[in-house]
A and B are shown apart, each in its own frame.
Chain A
Amino acid sequence: GQQLNQSPQSMFIQEGEDVSMNCTSSSIFNTWLWYKQDPGEGPVLLIALYKAGELTSNGRLTAQFGITRKDSFLNISASIPSDVGIYFCAGQYYGGYQKVTFGTGTKLQVIP
Chain B
Amino acid sequence: GAVVSQHPSWVICKSGTSVKIECRSLDFQATTMFWYRQFPKQSLMLMATSNEGSKATYEQGVEKDKFLINHASLTLSTLTVTSAHPEDSSFYICSAQRTSGDNEQFFGPGTRLTVL
- By a beta-carbon cutoff of 8 Å, the part of chain A in contact with chain B is 1, 31, 35, 40-45, 48, 88, 92, 94, 96-105
Interface residues of B in 71-115 (CB under 8 A from A): 91, 93, 95, 97, 103-105, 107-110, 112
In the complex, A40 Cα to B107 Cα: how many Å? 13
| Distance, CA A42 to CA B42, complexed state (A) | 13
Verify A100–B110 contact, CB threshold 8 A. Answer: no
A-B contact pairs, 6 of them (CB 8 A): A41-B109, A42-B93, A42-B108, A94-B103, A97-B49, A100-B95
Q: Bound state CA distance, A35 and B42, in angstroms?
A: 14
For B112, what are the chain A residues with a Cβ–Cβ distance below 8 Å? 40
Interface size class of B (residues with CB under 8 A): 20 to 34
Chain B interface, >50% SS class: strand
Instruction: With both chains docked as a complex, state the minimum distance between the C-beta of A109 and any C-beta of chain B, in angstroms.
Output: 14
B57 contact set on A, CB distance < 8 A: 97
Q: Find the residue from B43, B93, B105, B112 having the highest chain A CB count within 10 A.
A: B43
B residues at A contact (CB < 8 Å):
4, 6, 32, 34, 36, 42-46, 49, 51, 57, 60, 91, 93, 95, 97, 103-105, 107-110, 112
A70 to B97 CA separation, bound complex (whole angstroms): 24
Among B45, B51, B109, B110, contact of A97 (Cβ-Cβ < 8 Å): B51
- Are B105 and A100 within 8 A (Cβ)? yes
Least Cβ distance of A2 to chain B in Å? 11
B110, chain A: closest CB distance, angstroms: 5
**Contacts A40-B112, A41-B110 given: A99-B103 contact, CB under 8 Å?**
no
CB distance from B36 to the nearest CB of A (A): 8
Alpha-carbon distance between A105 and B39 when the two chains are bound, in angstroms? 13
